[in-house]
Amino acid sequence: MQKISRPGFVATRRQAIKSIVGGAAAVLAAPYVHRAYAADDTIRIGYIDQFTGARANFAETAPWVIDQIKAHTKDGLVIGGKTYAVEILSRDSQSDPNRMGSLGNELVLREDVDLLLIADGLAAPALEICDQNGTPGISTILQWEPFYAARGSSPEKGYPWSFLFFWSGADIIKNYTGMWDASGIEKVVGTFYEDNDFGRSFSGGMTASLQGAGFKEVPGGLFKEQVDDFSNQVAAFREGGAKIVTGLVFPQHFATFWGQAQQAGLELEAATIAAAFVFPSGVEVLGDQGAGMSTEIWFNRQLPFKSSLNGQSADEFCTAYEQASGKQWAQPMGYEHAIWEVAFAALKASGNPKNRAAVRDAIADLDLDTIIGKVDFRNSSMKSVANTWVTMGQWHKNPAGSKFPYELYVTNNVTAPQVPIQKEFLPLSKFR
């Protein structure tokens, strides 16, 4: 397929996307020269993840997953009766949106990949480059509300070449408030969020939901990634009588906040945090105080789903990782595997993986059972998005002598009744 470069497209977008695309404009403003890097019998797939930087926890399991995928494709993929070699070009966004734009330029414009995969919530700059140059792109680990908002689209419009499968920010908020409401904890909630696309979107949705559900909010505001002092939030929550604290907070930030909260005598009955408690390391850094911390669950070793690539159950998949790495399973690994399931299913369904329009159309028509459950673009009411499930869970201490100190269990399934509840949600005072 002949690619079309549109010089200067960044300058026509809203200011929000201008700031995150960064270096992309310079490359796109220059005349684009098509360079062929692979023979017609080789599929080139770009993969971007946040291997280093502030959000590196999300990609800790990704190198192992990529190794499994390389082993799976060592003999190539048979598509339309023809065997294609698979070349994977893996890149590190370094948790930096400006670098994300540069990597999009590199992989789409210079490396000329047939398909771009991004397991990083900062995907917008690279996906924009896909859309402007006719390269199919699949992303995950980003709620669909900011996926649309970051580039001024909507569920009605979608995007021409880029796709997302993940859950809704609205669903996570329903799960949060549903869990707190059922717990009987006093309805006073302290909130604070990292100042990024998801944090801002989560903040607005949470405020509206708290008001509608009869909760009192004690706002702690947005904070920058470089912040290392949360004394203002701690003071506000204590003075406001908060019994619950929530928001989008990464592990290193929450550890700082929690230490300051303990020093100030802030007594909470629930700490339900997006991002920080998704990972075992985010709980372990709190030492003995990690038990009782709660968060959303979007992948779990007890899930009744299997990989479409190798038939592994969720438990077998997690066990294989733990045996190979010596580390505990983490939620992102399910989606880091599923994005390859979606990619290979679309490439095979296209009939010709070198025909980018055919691959794009195959993604849009995909209805696939994966290791994280169903990924259904075909029947989705939203263009370019397949909505997946999310539940709530709580960390409990493992028995003495266990390999890992904590395990995450499903406690509430407000928007996903198909996921079984494993333990009752308990207030933090029960863990003290």
Mean pLDDT of the region 233-251 = 96
Q: What does the pLDDT read at residue 213?
A: 93
Q: What does the pLDDT read at residue 196?
A: 85
Instruction: Answer with the residue of higher pLDDT: 57 or 294.
Output: 294
Which tokens belong to 60?
A: 């800790």
Q: What does the pLDDT read at residue 281?
A: 87
Q: What is the pLDDT of residues 70-123, one digit of tens each?
A: 999 999 999 999 999 999 999 999 999 999 999 999 999 999 999 999 999 999
Q: What is the pLDDT of residues 136-170, one digit of tens each?
A: 999 999 999 989 999 999 999 999 999 999 999 88
Q: What does the pLDDT read at residue 44?
A: 98
- Phi–psi pair at 68, nearest 5 degrees: -65, -40
Give Cβ neighbours of residue 151 (< 8 Å, ≥ 6 apart): 13, 17, 124, 127, 128, 159
Query: Cα(122)–Cα(277) distance, rounded to whole angstroms?
Result: 20
Half-sphere exposure of residue 63, counting CA atoms within 13 Å on the CB side?
A: 9
Integer angstrom CA distances of residue 179 from 117, 172, 415: 34, 11, 11
Q: What does the pLDDT read at residue 38?
A: 53
Q: What does the pLDDT read at residue 170?
A: 86
Mean pLDDT of the region 301-305 = 89
Mean pLDDT of the region 408-419 = 92
| Identity at 149, one-letter amino acid code | A
Judged by average pLDDT, the poorest of 30-39, 57-66, 203-212, 354-363 is 30-39
Q: Percentage of residues in the chain with pLDDT exceeding 70?
A: 91
Instruction: Answer with the residue of higher pLDDT: 24 or 353.
Output: 353
Q: What does the pLDDT read at residue 2?
A: 35
Q: Are the CB atoms for 151 and 129 separated by under 8 Å?
A: no
Query: Cα(28)–Cα(160) distance, rounded to whole angstroms?
Result: 18
Q: Are the CB atoms for 215 and 186 separated by under 8 Å?
A: no
Residue 17 has pLDDT above 80, yes or no: no
Instruction: Answer with the residue of higher pLDDT: 316 or 226.
Output: 316
Mean pLDDT of the region 390-401 = 94
Helix (H) / strand (E) containing 220: strand 216-223
pLDDT, mean over the chain: 90
Q: What's the pTM?
A: 0.84
Q: Given pLDDT bands bounded at 50, 70 and 90, which one contains residue 12?
A: very low
Q: Are the CB atoms for 108 and 101 separated by under 8 Å?
A: no
Instruction: Answer with the residue of higher pLDDT: 193 or 202.
Output: 193
Helix (H) / strand (E) containing 207: helix 197-212
Mean pLDDT of the region 312-318 = 97
